């Protein structure tokens, strides 16, 4: 692929979002839309990437920190062509194709960019990206010959009836060699009702001077812009639908696909079964043969082969489930490892802990890992048995094959093979309950008799 640079326009105020968060930082599948775009472009190794910023620049700069990306300020804001020009200094000395795109059009694929830039190889000076939506609405139209040569680009409001009948629409994405892009941008004027400099006029200007402009087509969903919460939800829906299809094509079973939600980085192995209403947050890796039952939420977790989770389980960041371990209903795991074959079947909290292979955690067990200031570790040995309703007060170690009796509050280490029972002695008062009931019944009857 010919060397190229990317200019991403992200200077708009995004007022329709009605948010304190910059529009391009709103997430799809847990990742900011701008970062979706940057990661897509990264597959093509752009020589330079410039994000043109304006409103809430500090938010965008923070989001791209650590990436090989720079920002350029558009202030004041006088339209999309004017915004693209603000990247010129950052691209000083660069010779190659220059792509201009939009931060709120986040699902453009690397392959589409490759096709768009490759369209210049046959002598075209400018290539534009078009799409054919089900309803063209008020999109700008592209009038082109059968070979893709563009003869005219026209905004909907300026189009005649014949031009409005054309269903090939302008996405706004455009590419030209740097030798052509900057002169064409410089030539754009603001002779329009808004008094702004518009990016499509780059193509219009190229046609006017006799250059060949070509159109490359893509799917309408790929270039859907996001300007409102409703459009953001629509993009999320489309992303999830595509990810579900990929998961099933790769060998996972989704019992009710529409109810399963993935993160942008979810990894699923083969023969994984996912029951209804499962949510994957960021950072989840699932190995082959795992069964995730209904209403389970996972985030930052690693599940090895043969694991079963749920229903109604929660795996938080740092949860590691080794082979054939089991987490049942209403169990929460946080920054803890369950060894091979270990079980926490129900109603437990395991945090900041290491649980050995084949250990059993009884119902109602909690690791008391936090004193209000610091977190502490609990270590449970192999084959240990923790009785129901036990509190393990960290830092504490339960040895291999040890038994903690039900109802115990354990604050000191338990040796391997030992039994630890922490209970107060039970008191028995024979006949006390019968006498209590008799007294209460008489009192209640007297109160009822004396009531006004």
Q: Degrees (nearest 5) of the Cα angle 301, 326, 329?
A: 85
Span 291-315, average pLDDT: 98
Q: How far apart are CA 13 and CA 141, in angstroms?
A: 26
Convert the pLDDT of each residue in 398-451 to its tens digit: 999 999 999 999 999 999 999 999 988 888 999 999 999 999 999 999 998 888
Span 220-239, average pLDDT: 95
Convert the pLDDT of each residue in 17-50 to its tens digit: 999 999 999 999 999 999 999 999 999 999 999 9
Cα 259 to its chain centre, rounded Å, is 16
Q: Do 247-420 and 4-223 fall under one CATH topology?
A: no
Residue 2 has pLDDT above 90, yes or no: no
Considering the entire predicted model, what is its pTM? 0.89
Average predicted confidence (pLDDT) for the chain: 95
Q: What is the pLDDT of residue 452?
A: 80
Under the banding of pLDDT at 50, 70 and 90, the label for residue 81 is very high
Span 114-136, average pLDDT: 94
Q: For the chain, how are helix, strand and coil distributed in percent, rounded to 5?
A: 25, 30, 45
Convert the pLDDT of each residue in 330-386 to its tens digit: 999 999 999 999 999 999 999 999 999 999 999 999 999 999 999 999 999 999 999
Considering the segment(s) 247-420 as one domain, its CATH architecture is 3 Solenoid (2.160)
Considering 22, 277, 297, 346, which one is annotated as catalytic?
346
Domain boundaries, the chain: 4-223, 247-420
Q: What is the pLDDT of residue 230?
A: 96
Convert the pLDDT of each residue in 237-248 to its tens digit: 999 999 999 999
Convert the pLDDT of each residue in 304-333 to its tens digit: 999 999 999 999 999 999 999 999 999 999
Sequence-distant (≥ 6) Cβ neighbours of residue 111 within 8 angstroms: none
| Least trusted range by pLDDT, from 138-152, 252-266, 277-291, 299-313 | 138-152
Under the banding of pLDDT at 50, 70 and 90, the label for residue 193 is confident
Residue 289 has pLDDT above 70, yes or no: yes
Q: Where are the alpha helices (DSSP H) in 126-169?
A: 161-164
Under the banding of pLDDT at 50, 70 and 90, the label for residue 125 is very high
% pLDDT > 90, the chain: 91
Active site residue 346: yes
Which fold would CATH assign to domain 4-223? Answer: Spore Coat Polysaccharide Biosynthesis Protein SpsA; Chain A (3.90.550)
Q: How far apart are CA 293 and CA 310, in angstroms?
A: 5
Q: What is the pLDDT of residue 1?
A: 65
């Amino acid at each position: 692929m010919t060397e190229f640079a990317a200019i991403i326009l992200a200077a708009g105020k995004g007022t329709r979002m009605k948010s304190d968060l910059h529009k391009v930082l709103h997430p799809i599948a847990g990742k900011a839309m701008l970062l979706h775009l940057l990661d897509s472009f990264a597959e093509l190794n752009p020589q330079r990437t410039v994000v043109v910023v304006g409103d809430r620049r500090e938010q965008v700069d923070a989001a791209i920190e650590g990436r090989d990306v720079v920002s350029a300020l558009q202030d004041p804001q006088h339209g999309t062509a004017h915004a693209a020009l603000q990247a010129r200094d950052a691209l000083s000395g660069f010779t190659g194709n220059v792509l201009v795109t939009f931060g709120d059009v986040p699902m453009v694929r690397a392959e589409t960019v490759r096709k768009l830039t490759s369209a210049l190889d046959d002598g075209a000076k400018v290539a534009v990206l078009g799409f054919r939506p089900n309803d063209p609405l008020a999109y700008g139209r592209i009038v082109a010959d059968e070979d893709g040569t563009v003869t005219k680009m026209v905004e909907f409001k300026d189009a005649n009836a014949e031009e409005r009948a054309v269903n090939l629409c302008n996405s706004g994405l455009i590419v030209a060699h740097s030798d052509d892009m900057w002169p064409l941008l410089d030539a754009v004027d603001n002779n329009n009702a808004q008094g702004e400099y518009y990016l499509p006029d780059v193509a219009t200007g190229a046609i006017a001077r006799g250059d060949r402009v070509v159109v490359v087509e893509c799917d309408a969903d790929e270039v859907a812009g996001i300007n409102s919460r409703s459009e953001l939800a629509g993009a999320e829906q489309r992303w999830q639908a595509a990810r579900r299809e990929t998961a099933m094509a790769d060998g996972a079973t989704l019992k009710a696909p529409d109810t399963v939600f993935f993160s942008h980085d979810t990894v699923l192995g083969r023969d994984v079964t996912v029951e209804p209403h499962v949510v994957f947050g960021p950072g989840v890796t699932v190995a082959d043969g795992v069964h995730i039952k209904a209403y389970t939420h996972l985030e930052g977790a690693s599940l090895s082969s043969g694991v079963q989770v749920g229903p109604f389980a929660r795996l938080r960041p740092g949860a590691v489930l080794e082979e054939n371990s089991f987490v049942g209903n209403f169990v929460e795991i946080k920054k803890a490892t369950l060894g091979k074959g270990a079980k926490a079947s129900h109603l437990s909290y395991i945090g900041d802990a290491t649980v050995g292979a084949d250990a059993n955690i009884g119902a109602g067990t909690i690791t008391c890992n936090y004193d209000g200031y610091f977190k502490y570790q609990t270590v449970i040995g192999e084959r240990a048995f923790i009785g129901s309703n036990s509190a393990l007060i960290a830092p504490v170690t339960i040895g291999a094959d040890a038994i903690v009796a039900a109802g115990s509050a354990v604050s000191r280490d338990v040796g391997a093979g030992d039994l630890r029972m922490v209970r107060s002695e039970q008191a028995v008062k024979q006949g006390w309950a019968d006498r209590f009931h008799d007294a209460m019944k008489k009192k209640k009857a007297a109160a009822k008799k004396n009531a006004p």
